[in-house]
């Protein structure tokens, strides 16, 4: 029988047409009226509202699906019961390990492939933007503009500064490449014992993270959220960071002790922070981080670019061919390691 693919989050018609044209051996089911309407381009978590009739139609589609493009956010807990034929889910995010464990999908025998690599360049560009904003004193520019006040000031340059990258997957390697281009010294901490790429000057194992922290002007967190990285940047480690250094978190909020982060920002121990992710998330409206002039908050949107759905479609088509040919899938999730 022909495998059935169910598209579980919004894709533009041209991408649906490409999947059908380039993978004619599968049946592609796409009902945009039954999934969440995107609130912005490449929105894969849009709220879903269905009538009882529409809900019955969606459940009938789930019952036939062998492959899902993206997780069904409307049936997270009972998806195994509703999708008895399901064998593989292609995610639209790289960091899916926690969700797979949380909803018990690790007990189903399904395969999961991540979107690793799709968001690497947008996130690397975001980190570059943040670094430039801080060394060029954008908070001063913004404050003076709001006050209609003209006073000259000095700034710095990236060349000669040091960045520490925690997590050297595709995102971390792209960040390292960008930083090297700007003449920065690149330190990296990674679990793998593989030789560092040429864009990394010094590589540290996880047990030597404390040696890296006092050396860096910018610390970028882009490691997956696992039991080993939960609370990774603890109060003690924040205190090890160089005075005036900048934290950039594009991983998960749970990697950071937010109470100590706020204290360090107020005290001036840290020069600033750029938080694409927080703990909790969304950040509560009364959280002090909102009002700190040395904090950039990007609402978990740093990775979301208008090129995303095209890249996801490319990846999905490649994996469809691999699936049909019984070849190893690209970006296959290691359920035990959670990435």
| Active site residues per annotation | 252, 281, 300
**CB-CB contact of 160 with 183 (8 Å):** yes
| DSSP state, residue 88 | E
Bridge partners of residue 67, in order along the sequence: 5, 88
Alpha helices per DSSP H over the chain: 13-22, 52-64, 79-82, 97-102, 120-135, 138-146, 170-181, 209-212, 235-240, 258-267, 308-324
Residue position matching structure tokens 């003449």: 183
In angstroms, what is the C-alpha Rg of the chain? 22
- Residues in a beta bridge with 203: 188
241-257 burial, b if ≥16 CB within 10 A, otherwise e? bbeebbbbbbbbbbbbb
Phi, psi of 199 (to 5 degrees): -80, -5
DSSP state of 185: E
């Amino acid at each position: 029988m022909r495998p059935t693919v169910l598209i579980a989050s919004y894709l533009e018609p041209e991408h649906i047409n490409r999947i059908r044209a380039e993978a004619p051996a599968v049946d592609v089911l796409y009902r945009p009226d039954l999934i969440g309407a995107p609130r912005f381009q490449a929105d894969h978590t849009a709220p879903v509202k269905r009538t009882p009739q529409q809900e019955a139609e969606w459940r009938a589609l789930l019952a036939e699906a062998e492959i899902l493009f993206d997780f069904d956010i409307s049936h997270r807990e009972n998806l195994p019961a509703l999708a008895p034929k399901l064998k593989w889910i292609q995610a639209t995010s790289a960091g899916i390990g926690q969700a797979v464990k949380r909803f018990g999908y690790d007990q189903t025998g399904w395969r999961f492939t991540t979107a690793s690599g799709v968001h690497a360049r947008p996130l690397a560009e975001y980190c570059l933007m943040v670094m430039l904003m801080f060394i060029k004193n954008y908070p001063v520019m913004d404050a003076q503009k709001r006050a209609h006040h003209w006073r000259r000031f000095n700034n710095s340059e990236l060349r000669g500064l040091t960045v520490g990258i925690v997590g050297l997957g595709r995102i971390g390697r792209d960040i390292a490449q960008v930083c090297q281009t700007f003449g920065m010294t690149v330190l990296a901490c990674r679990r793998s014992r593989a030789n560092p790429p040429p864009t990394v000057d010094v590589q540290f194992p996880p047990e030597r993270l404390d040696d890296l922290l006092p050396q860096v002007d910018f610390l970028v967190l882009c490691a997956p959220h696992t039991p080993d990285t939960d609370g990774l940047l603890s109060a003690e480690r924040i205190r090890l960071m160089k005075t005036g250094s900048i934290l950039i978190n594009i991983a998960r909020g749970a990697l950071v002790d937010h109470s100590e982060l706020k204290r360090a920002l107020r005290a001036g121990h840290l020069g600033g922070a750029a938080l694409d992710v927080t703990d909790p998330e969304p950040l509560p409206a009364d959280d002090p981080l909102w009002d700190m002039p040395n904090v950039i908050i990007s609402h978990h949107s740093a990775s979301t670019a208008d090129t995303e759905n095209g890249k996801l479609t490319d990846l999905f088509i490649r994996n469809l061919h691999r699936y049909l040919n019984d070849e190893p899938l690209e970006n296959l999730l290691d359920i035990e390691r959670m990435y």
